[in-house]
Structure 1
């Protein structure tokens, strides 16, 4: 049986896989774009199988709170376009999540997931 639980019972496999995860935490949208530029070579050199970006909206939200929305629009589009080109060039799947936030006190904007 080749299920995931069975595979992870192999001694040391989970630790080996976890050791291959690279986590980057850019502090701003500009840091994010810089890390993307450096990432292309890293992806190819390390035989990466999946790229996950969580959460693009967090950069947008933090820039909006600082009042720099005019600057934010272009770099965010550039970053998303760059991620698309990375996926096409390297044939690596790219998953981009988008954080959902509500700043309204209106009950119509809040949903219960019970």
Structure 2
């Protein structure tokens, strides 16, 4: 049976393509959100005396999805950021799958450990 990846270059090519697509996609999404935001708020006067972070509804996936349904510019920008964050995580996951296909189990274990560390950092961190 032939392997999906004939050489290490095939794996590197697929991973590289994933990274390029992820970065370009996130950039396009954020750009669209930025353009919509500028049309809605471009004439507003910024208040530089205080920092106001992302609204509470855009700090969670459900709020971002709700914002996307009404084409909220900030939610679209947040989606671009989420796609950018997800890109290297998908790269690690793709690498684990590629190593499993190649039956390189030591690297599968190492890659899954890296993925676990990322997941613990994202979901097990201190809420603040």
* Shared fold per TM-score greater than 0.5: no
TM-score calculated relative to the size of structure 1: 0.32
* Higher share in helix: 2
> Which is greater in Rg?
2
